[in-house]
Amino acid sequence: MTLFEAIFLGLVQGFTEVLPISSSGHLILVPWFFNFNDPGLSFDVALHLGTLIAILVYFRSDVMNYAQGFVKAVAKREIKEVNEKMAFYIILATIPGVIAGVLLNDYAEDSFRNPLLIAFTIFFFGLVLLYAEKKSGKKQIADYTAKRSFITGLAQAIAIIPGISRSGVTMSGSMLQGFSRETAARFSFLISIPIIAGAGLYQVPKMPVADLATPYFWAGLISAVFASFISVKFLMSFVRNHKLNIFAYYRFVLAALIIVLYLVK
């Protein structure tokens, strides 16, 4: 890997993890398109750590409020206020993703990485995004319940398959239940925090310690932080007044391009 490749992949991770267009699909396809060498496990952890840092910084106020709500609820053994409920709803929405990660991680790293499968999931869940856009409503954060949170968590669980897009499918899961685009996006990012952190911690013991000292690790991490933060800020502003259709159309074009390149390569 070169320093340019590390920075480039960090930018790809940052933009595609946040936007509803599938980071895992792009991170598989970009090296395939350009014949990059496999960056390895440590680099993958660096990229996701970069995205996690950006999300934590952007949503730091929400994270602090819900963390305090969790501590308060545990201390008094009662869940009443919105912040207290949301802390537990985020945990509840994380459970399906954890189970899927444990059961399907090996498949996600091997069997699910076929370009044609990725093209199909990119296209199909573009259709899902269009349909969810039509069903979006006006429900806000306070309207989440245990059931609604868990349904969104189930959507997050299937995002382990490359090409689906974790942000896209979780936003769709909320919008299909009548939540506004902005609320769906906010909840999507919040429930991504424990999933991304947990996946990173799971991989850490497998990482060679020496990889932490390479410039590629830090170049990827820093560029991922930069791109992720810009993307989060852009998306949260975009969804206030614009539909998500453009991202679905992008997915359709990308799926067609993958198939064409697969056939001629």
For the segment 48-106, what is each residue's pLDDT rounded down to a tens digit? 899 999 999 999 999 999 999 999 999 988 898 999 999 999 999 999 998 988 887 76
Q: In the prediction, which pLDDT does 107 show?
A: 65
Per-residue pLDDT band for 245 (boundaries 50, 70, 90) equals very high
| Domain containing residue 187 | 3-264
69 vs 36, more confident? 69
pLDDT beyond 90 at 201: no
103: exposed, middle or buried (Cβ count in 10 Å: 0-12, 13-18, 19+): exposed
Six-digit token string for 151: 């349904």
Q: What is the mean pLDDT of residues 182-197?
A: 94
Q: In 10 A of CB 98, how many CB atoms? A: 17
DSSP 83: H
| The model's pTM | 0.90
| Cβ–Cβ < 8 Å for 132, 176 | yes
Q: Where is average pLDDT lowest: 102-116, 169-183, 242-256?
A: 102-116
SS3 139: strand
What average pLDDT is seen over the chain?
Answer: 89
Instruction: Identify the pLDDT of residue 75.
Output: 93
pLDDT of residue 69: 94
Determine the pLDDT at residue 34.
Answer: 76
Reported as a pLDDT band with limits 50, 70 and 90, residue 108 is: low
Number of domain units in the chain: 1
